[in-house]
Amino acid sequence: MNSFSYHRAAHPVEAVKDVNNQSDAKFVAGGTNLFDLMKLNIEKPSHLTDINRLDLGKIEVLPNNGLRLGALVTNAATAWNKDVEENYPLLSQAILAGASPQLRNMATNGGNTLQRTRCYYFYDLATPCNKREPGTGCSAINGFNRIHAILGTSETCIATHPSDMCVALMALDAKVNVTGVNGERTIDFADFHRLPGDTPHLDNHLEHGDLITSIDLPADHFKTNVAYLKLRDRQSYAFALVSVAAALKMEGNVIQDVSVALGGVAHKPWRDRQAEEQLKGQSATAAGFREFAETVLSGARGFGHNTFKIELAKRAIVRALTMALKNESTILSDLSKA
Amino acid sequence: MKTNYTGQPANRVDGSLKVTGTAKYAAEFEAEGLLFGYIINSTIAKGKIKEIDISQAMQVAGVVQIFTHENVSGLAWFNKSYKDMDSPPGDPFRPLYDHKIRYSMQPIGLVVATTFEVARFAASLIKVTYKEEKLVTNLQDNLHRSKKAPMGKVGYVQPKSRGDAESVFAKAEYKIEGEYVHAAEHHNPLEMFATTAIWEEDGKVTLYDKTQGVSNVQLYISNIFGLSLKNVRVVSPFVGGGFGSGLRPQYQVFMATLAALELRRPVRVVMTRQQMFSFGHRPGTVQRVAMSADENGKLTSIQHEAYGETSQFEDYTEIVVNWSGTMYNCENVKLKYELVKLDVATPTDMRAPGAVTSAHAFESAIDEIAYAVKIDPLEFRKINYAEDDQVEGKPYSSKELRACYDQGAAKFGWSGRSIEPRSMREGNQLIGWGMANGAWDALQMPAKAQAVLSLDGKLTVSSGTSEIGTGTYTIMTQIAAETLGMDINDVTFKLGDTLMPMAPLQGGSWTAASVGSAVKAVCEEVKAKLFKLASKTKHSPLSGAAPKELTMAEGHIFLISDPGSRLSIIEVMRLTETDSIIESGMSGPDPAAKTTHSFNSHAAVFAEVKVDEDLGTVIVTRVVCAVAAGKILNPKTAGSQILGSVVWGISKALEEETVMDNNFGRFMNHNLGEYHVAVNKDINDIDIIFVEEHDDLVNPLGIKGVGEIGIIAVAPAIANAVFHATGVRVRDLPITMDKVLQLAEEDKNQVRV
Ligand SMILES: Cc1cc2nc3c(=O)[nH]c(=O)nc-3n(C[C@H](O)[C@H](O)[C@H](O)COP(=O)(O)OP(=O)(O)OC[C@H]3O[C@@H](n4cnc5c(N)ncnc54)[C@H](O)[C@@H]3O)c2cc1C
Ligand code: SF4
C-alpha cells in the first residue's frame, strides 16, 4: 500500500473540495472495497477524504412520499429500515443477498454503487487488464471468464458490476443525488453506470470529486409482487453469477407494470425497457415470461466459460417473475442463516 | 473423582487458551528489535529472471535488506540437503537459489523492514524483468505426456492389478465407464503460514513456526544452512489448521531463518492469503473407471486409471487407485496411476490424500454399475462386501463397515428410497439420495514421549508432536490421566518443541495412535515406578505389595483386593523421599501384526440433495456419516473431526476449485472471496455415528484415528444423490449449476431406449 495523506471532512462541500485538490484523491466511506484494493496496489490514492462524519446517514421520507437513502447509511441499516422493508422490499432482499452481515454493517449505500468489478485479472497485478491499466489488454476475454459479462461487452472489457443492491435500484428507477465542484445534480440510475466501450477504466458517469449524497426512490413503486433471485456458487457470501430483480404490478392476472433488472451479466445492472413495454398489458404466463427473457437476452454473447449464463439468465428471469407473481421470496424466508 | 477418561467427551484442555487469545501462534511471538519480512512472488510461470531492480525499494525508510537469488549465498549446494521427511522423489524447490522460474507465484525475494507495511510497500517498488518460456499447465490437454508414478514418497505403494479385467469387461453384459475430473484445491487453513525466527548470540536460532512437524523443520533448516541440529530449535505450540499443508516446511521458514541469520536480528515472515495459493495443493486429477457386473450384482471387473498433476521438479504421488483393489470382492482388477509434469508447484498431501480423489471416481462408478444392474446401491455394496483385504489377502484387524451401512441407513431412512432417478420432488426441487463408502489406513508410527511426575502430584507429559486443532492436547491428557488414575486437572500435556522427545509428522490420522501409545507407554513406566516405591514404603498399607496386587485411581495407589488400603501419589513420593519421577518411553507398531492383518478405518456416508430443476442449483440438505474407527477416545473432539470432514466434503463436492488460467499458468481465484469454501448457509443437518468397533490388534489403545476418514466418501455420496435427483451424472467436481444444467440439456436431447 502506498503512503497517503488523510483528511476527515465535516461538510459535503468541503469534502468535494478536498478531493478536487488532488487528481488522485479519493473519498472513503466503509472502506470495504477501497482498502482491499489499496492493499493490493490496485488503487493508489495519494490522499483520502474520509466522509464518514458527514451528515448523510439518514433515511427520510420525501415530500413526494418517495424515500431518500443517505449515502452513508450502511447496507445493513438500509435493508432493515422499516420504510424500506415495507415499501421497497425488493431493495431489502437484494441488499441481504449480498456479501456477509459483517460487510453489510460496514458497507455504505454510496460505496456500494461504486464498488469495482470482481474480475480476477483486475485484482491480480501480474496479468494485463484494460480496466486497471488502459491499453494493456483484457486477460479475461481469452482467459477464465466464467463470472464475466454476456451483455453490453466490448472488445476491451467483459467485466461485470458486482453489486446486488444496484440491481434493485435499477429496477426501482432510483436516482442518485450528487454534489460536485459545480454544485448539485441528480442522475437517473439507468444513466449512472457505464458500459465498457473503449473506456473500460471508467465504471460510471461521475466526475472526479463528485460526492454521492443520497439515493432517491420514487413513491409507491412496486411495494408487492417483487422478487430478488440471486444465483451463485454458494448459498451466501458469493457474488452473483446471475441475479434478477423482478417487480410486477398486477391487476388480476394482467400485467400493469413490470420492471426487471439483471445483475452479474453486464458492466452495469441491465434493463430492457422495450421488452418491458411489450410485456405490459399481457396476462402473466410462463410462456410470456420466457418470451420476455428471450428478448432481454437476444443480444447476449458468451465467451466460453460464461456462455451458460445466457440460458441461465433466461430461466432466472422466468423464475423471478414467477416468484414475484406469487409474492415469494427466497431470501427473506431464510434469513436466520444468511 | 472420575479417572476413567478415554471414551468420555472431555472438553478441550486448551479451549480457554484459544477463546481468550492466550494460545500463541507462530506470528504472535514477540522479540525486541523484531523485523518484518514480506515475500515477493514471481508473476510468470516459467522462464528466467533477467533482472531484479531493488534500488528504489532499498531507498524506502525502514527497509533493512532485500534478499534475492542475486545476493544470497552460502546455502547448501546439494539437492538432498533440501529434502524433508515428506519429500516426494525429485529435486526439491530451493528458494532464492537461482534465477529460474518454475511456477507462477514462486517466491523470488524477501524484503525485510522495520514494519510489515513498509516491507509490503517497498516490495511494490521492486521491478522484476523476466525472460519467459513456453509453459504447460493444462492437465487434461497433456494426459498423453503421462509417466508411471515412481516409488519414493513415504507410504507410497505401487498399485497391483490381478486377473484379466479388460477381457472380462469386453464380454460383459452389464458395464459402465466414465471419466472423472477434479481441479486443484488449496488447503487454506485459517492461520497463514508464519515464522518468527529468533537469532541468538551463540549462533543458535529458535524458530516459532506454523508446522505439522517441528522435527521436520529442524532437519530441513539445519541441512540448508549448515547448522547442527542442536543449534536449531523449532517451537510450534498451536497451529491454526494444517490439513497437510504444514507437513513439509514452507518457504516462509526458510525466508525468516535466512534473514535472521544474515541480519543477526529477530525476523518475522507471514504469508498473505494470496500467498497461501503459492505452494502445494491437492493435485488436479483425471480418472477413468470402467466396471462390469453380472446379473446378480457381483462385480466381475474393475479398471481404474488416474492421472495426477505434479511439478517439473518433483514427482508427488498419492495412493489413488490402490483403494479400488481392496474395497470390494472382485477377481479382475486393472489399476494404473500416472503423473503429468506441469509448470506448477509440487502438490502436497491434503486431508485423506489420494483416497478422497479415488473415492469420488470409484464410488460414483459403483453407483453407476449398481444402476446398470438395477440394484439398490447400498445392496450392491453389501453383495460385493470384502471381508478381507483383497490385495494383501489378509483379514482386517476389524472392519465394522456393515454396521456403518446399517446404522447409517437406519438413521437416514434409506429403506424409504425408490431406486428410480427423478422420483422425488418438492415443486421444482428434485430430491435425491445417494451414498458412498470409504476407507483409510489405521497407521501407527514410532513416537517418543517423556513424563515427569513432581512432588506436588502433578504430571507433565511431553512429545514433539503438533496440535493442528484436532484435539491432540486433550486426548493425550486423557490418556495420561487415565493410565495413571489421576485427576485430569493434575495432568499437563506439552507438544510442539524440538527439545521434546521426537514424534512423527502430524498427518495420516496416526497421531492419536502413535503419540497416544507412547504417552500410554511412558505413563505405564511411571506407574511401575510408583508401584515399586509404594511397596518400599515402611509401615504403610502398601508396604511390600507386589506390583500386580496394585492399581491406581483417583490419584491413589491401592490394593486391588482391598481398595481401602491406599496411599496418594503424593504420600508415596514423600514417604520414599522421591522428588520427582522422570520416565522416557517409546512406542511403535507391532511388526508381527502387520504380517497377519490389514488395518483400515471405514465410513459410510448418506446424503440428501435438492436440485433446482430449472436452475441447476444444488443444496445438500442432510448428511449422515457413520464411522468405524476403533475405540473413540473422545467423542467430542472426534465428532468435530468428522463434522469438519463432512463440511469439507460438501465444499469439495459443490464449491472448491482453484482455477488455473492456462495462458498465464497462474491460479486466478487466489483469495477467499473467489475460492469458495462452504459457509454456514451451505451446511444443513449433519449426523455422525461412531459404530462400536473393538480392535486388539491395531495398537495398545485400540484406536484408528479420525482425522481423515470422515471426508472420503462425502463427495461421491453427494454426486450420487445428484444423479438420483436429476438422472444426470456430473463427473467433474465441483458440481456447479452450469454443469448440472448443461448435462440435463444434453440428456434431454438424447433418445431414451
Ligand atoms: C468478500 C466480499 C464479498 C462481497 N460480496 C458482495 C455481494 O455479494 N454483493 C454486493 O453487492 N457487494 C458485495 N461486496 C461489496 C460490498 O458491498 C462493497 O465493498 C461495499 O458496498 C462498498 O461500500 P463501502 O462504503 O465500504 O465503500 P468504500 O470501500 O469506502 O468505497 C468504495 C468506492 O466508493 C467511493 N465512495 C464511497 N462513498 C462515496 C460517496 N458517498 N460519494 C462518492 N464516492 C464514494 C470510494 O472513493 C471508493 O472508490 C462484497 C465485498 C467483499 C469484500
Ligand atoms: S474483463 Fe475488464 S476488468 Fe477483467 S481483465 Fe478484461 S479489462 Fe480487465
DSSP string, B661-682: ETTTTEES--STTTS----GGG
Mean pLDDT of chain A: 96
Ligand at shortest distance from the CA of A125: 2
* Cα gap B608→B653, rounded to integer Å: 13
For A205, the grid coordinates are: 458517469
For residues B354 and B233, state if they share a domain. Answer: no
A316 touches chain B (CB under 8 A): yes
State the CATH number of the domain containing residue A15: 3.30.43.10
**Average pLDDT over every residue of B155-178:** 97
For residues B534 and B636, state if they share a domain. Answer: no
B166 burial (CB, 10 Å; 0-12 / 13-18 / 19+) is middle
* Cα gap B523→B551, rounded to integer Å: 13
pLDDT band at residue B2 using 50, 70 and 90 as cut-offs: low
What strands, in cross-sheet order, belong to the sheet with B127-132? B100-101, B47-53, B127-132
Residue ranges making up the domain that contains B214: 31-134+190-241+246-277
- pTM (two decimals): 0.97
Across the interface, whether the CB atoms of A311 and B737 are under 8 A apart is answered: no
pLDDT band at residue B752 using 50, 70 and 90 as cut-offs: very low
Strand pairing report for B285-293 and B47-53: unpaired
pLDDT band at residue A332 using 50, 70 and 90 as cut-offs: very low
Q: Which pLDDT score is estimated for B20?
A: 96
Which of A102, A120, A303 to mutate against chain B (most B CBs within 10 Å)?
A: A120
DSSP string, B409-461: HHHHTGGG--SSTT--EETTEEEEEEEEEEEEE-----EEEEEEEETTS-EEE
Q: For residue A206, is it within any domain?
A: no
Of the residues B255, B277, B299, which one is the last residue of a structural domain?
Answer: B277
For residues B437 and B449, state if they share a domain. Answer: no
For B241, the grid coordinates are: 489448521
Within 8 A of A142 by CB-CB distance, chain B residues are 663
* Cα distances (Å, whole numbers) of residue A239 to A161, A163, A304: 10, 8, 19
Backbone angles phi, psi at A260, to 5 degrees: -135, 120
Nearest-CA distance B663 → chain A (Å): 7
Of all protein residues, whose CA lies closest to atom 37 belonging to ligand 1? A111
Residue in A1, A41, A238 nearest the CB of B676: A238
Which tens digits make up the pLDDT trace of A12-25? 999 999 999 999 99
For residues B174 and B110, state if they share a domain. Answer: no
Of the residues B544, B565, B588, which one is the last residue of a structural domain?
Answer: B588
Q: For residue A124, is it within any domain?
A: no
Across the interface, whether the CB atoms of A233 and B655 are under 8 A apart is answered: yes
Pocket test for ligand 1, best of A108, A184, A201, A231 (most atoms within 8 A of CB): A108
Which tens digits make up the pLDDT trace of B20-29? 999 999 999 9
Q: For residue B385, is it within any domain?
A: yes
Q: For residue B54, is it within any domain?
A: yes
**Residues having CB within 6 Å of any atom of ligand 1:** A 26-34, 36, 51, 71, 75, 98-99, 103, 106-108, 110-112, 114-115, 162-165, 211-212, 239; B 673
pLDDT band at residue B753 using 50, 70 and 90 as cut-offs: very low
Pocket test for ligand 1, best of A32, A43, A113, A116 (most atoms within 8 A of CB): A32
Q: Residue A222's closest CA among A68, A61, A92?
A: A92
Q: For residue B26, is it within any domain?
A: no
* Cα gap B229→B204, rounded to integer Å: 10
Backbone angles phi, psi at A61, to 5 degrees: -80, 130
For residues B507 and B567, state if they share a domain. Answer: yes
pLDDT band at residue B4 using 50, 70 and 90 as cut-offs: confident
Distance (Å) from CA B19 to ligand 1 centroid: 31
Q: For residue A89, is it within any domain?
A: no
pLDDT band at residue B750 using 50, 70 and 90 as cut-offs: low
Ligand at shortest distance from the CA of A156: 2
Residue B263 has pLDDT above 80, yes or no: yes
Side chain identity at B321, as an amino acid letter? V
Q: For residue B391, is it within any domain?
A: yes
Across the interface, whether the CB atoms of A3 and B614 are under 8 A apart is answered: no
For residues B89 and B157, state if they share a domain. Answer: no
Q: For residue A13, is it within any domain?
A: yes
- Please identify, by atom number, the ligand 2 atom nearest to the C-alpha of residue A149: 1
Q: What percentage of residues in chain B have a pLDDT greater than 70?
A: 99
A195 touches chain B (CB under 8 A): no
**Structural domain count, chain A:** 2
Q: For residue A316, is it within any domain?
A: yes
For residues B153 and B198, state if they share a domain. Answer: no
Q: For residue A167, is it within any domain?
A: no
For residues B254 and B199, state if they share a domain. Answer: yes
For residues B616 and B565, state if they share a domain. Answer: no
Mean pLDDT of chain B: 96
Within 8 A of B619 by CB-CB distance, chain A residues are 235
Which of B38, B662, B674, B749 to mutate against chain A (most A CBs within 10 Å)?
A: B674
For residues B111 and B227, state if they share a domain. Answer: yes
Residue ranges making up the domain that contains A254: 225-337
State the CATH number of the domain containing residue B377: 3.30.365.10
Q: Where are the alpha helices (DSSP H) in B457-510?
A: 472-483
Q: For residue A309, is it within any domain?
A: yes
Active-site annotation of B, residues: 708
Of all protein residues, whose CA lies closest to atom 43 belonging to ligand 1? A211
Put simply, the chain B residues between 77 and 106 with a CB less than 8 A from any chain A CB are 104
B60 touches chain A (CB under 8 A): no
Of the residues B229, B255, B277, which one is the last residue of a structural domain?
Answer: B277
Which tens digits make up the pLDDT trace of B573-597? 999 999 999 999 999 999 898 899 9
Ligand at shortest distance from the CA of A162: 1
**Average pLDDT over every residue of B220-234:** 97
State the CATH number of the domain containing residue A250: 3.30.390.50
**Structural domain count, chain B:** 3
State the CATH number of the domain containing residue B126: 3.90.1170.50
For residues B477 and B488, state if they share a domain. Answer: yes
Which tens digits make up the pLDDT trace of B112-127? 999 999 999 999 999 9
- As for the ipTM of the complex, it is 0.95
Q: For residue B250, is it within any domain?
A: yes
pLDDT band at residue A329 using 50, 70 and 90 as cut-offs: low
Across the interface, whether the CB atoms of A234 and B43 are under 8 A apart is answered: no
For residues B516 and B645, state if they share a domain. Answer: no
Q: For residue A318, is it within any domain?
A: yes
